[in-house]
Amino acid sequence: MTDHISVSRDGPILRLGFNRPEKKNAITQAMYAALVDGLIEANRDDAIRAVVFEAKGDLFTSGNDIADFMSGAGGPGEGEKPPVIRFLEAIATAEKPLIAAVQGPAVGVGVTMLFHCDLVYASEAATFHTPFVDLALVPEAASSLLLPQIAGHHRAAEMLILGKKIDGPRAREFGFVNEVLAPDALEDAAFGAAHAIAEKAPAAMKLTKKLMKGDRAAVLERMKEEGVHFAAQLQSAEFREAGMAFMQKRKPDFSKLG
């Protein structure tokens, strides 16, 4: 159990909130595990008709906890799959509509999780940044497959190859944000959509989402492939340099590597 994910019900809506603002909502293994529990509950409970992801503080999330990356938490271990992997699989295969209310900057998995959501509402304060290569890592959550499909290869390259941070209007142009709203209009938009979904025929809704998402095998396969490279990169000298640079609040120096 962790308090760093808030879980609550608003009638037929399950609310899952990032709640670790002092660390910019960086996501730990315990947080992924709490999100997985919520998503399993949403699949199982007929009374839940939609899930809303939200966050406390100024950032939506700064992505995976980098200290966890450095200590090897979430890497391949004995027995059960690590929570981060279970989370990625759970958002890829969720049966009820997933809605995100992005109130501030989203980094790393905070962005790639949005490619699995059905509706994404962003406040004017939101930005979207996937600096995997800058951290000597590779894209995850099947984002190397999904972002080129959503945005086209060249726009995806701005985010995944250049590591460029984009704002809400640009993300809307890329195709993974539905609306950019004034901060005080965000909650109404996200929960308005969630309640509209909740009033519709539940079986038809689940089938429609399933049909729209199509065969998930390619997505799950890409996650696995990315995971192999991600795990190897975590052991690399270039990642050690990037991780140390983050901890020491300096720019990484890759000039002597490779």
At its nearest, how many Å lie between ligand COA and the CB of residue 128?
12
Interface with ligand COA (CB under 6 A), residue from 19, 29, 64, 233: 64
Q: Does residue 98 belong to the site contacting ligand COA (CB under 6 A)?
A: no
- Closest CB to ligand COA among residues 64, 123: 64
Residues 18 and 175: their CA atoms lie apart, in Å, by 24
At its nearest, how many Å lie between ligand COA and the CB of residue 68?
7
Q: Torsion over CA of 226, 228, 231 and 233, rounded to 10 degrees?
A: -70
Interface with ligand COA (CB under 6 A), residue from 108, 139, 227, 243: 108
How crowded is residue 216: how many other Cβ atoms within 10 Å of its Cβ?
A: 14
- Closest CB to ligand COA among residues 112, 178: 112
Instruction: Please name the helix (run of DSSP H) or strand (run of DSSP E) that holds residue 227, with its range, or none.
Output: helix 217-234
Read off the tokens for 37. 């529990």
- Closest CB to ligand COA among residues 24, 86: 24
Q: Does residue 107 belong to the site contacting ligand COA (CB under 6 A)?
A: yes
Interface with ligand COA (CB under 6 A), residue from 74, 104, 131, 252: 131
Task: Give SS3 for 179.
Answer: strand
Q: DSSP per residue over 235-254, as a string?
A: TSHHHHHHHHHHHTTS----
**Alpha helices, DSSP H, located in 51-96:** 66-71, 83-93
Q: Give 50's strand partners.
A: 13
How crowded is residue 81: how many other Cβ atoms within 10 Å of its Cβ?
A: 14
Q: Does residue 56 belong to the site contacting ligand COA (CB under 6 A)?
A: no
Sign of CA dihedral 205, 211, 214, 215: positive
CB-based contact 47:41 (threshold 8 Å): no
- Closest CB to ligand COA among residues 13, 146: 146
- Closest CB to ligand COA among residues 134, 187: 134
Q: Does residue 23 belong to the site contacting ligand COA (CB under 6 A)?
A: yes
Q: Does residue 29 belong to the site contacting ligand COA (CB under 6 A)?
A: no
Q: Does residue 143 belong to the site contacting ligand COA (CB under 6 A)?
A: no
Q: Does residue 231 belong to the site contacting ligand COA (CB under 6 A)?
A: no
Residues of this chain that interact with ligand COA (CB under 6 A) are 23-24, 26, 59, 62-67, 107-108, 131-132, 135, 137
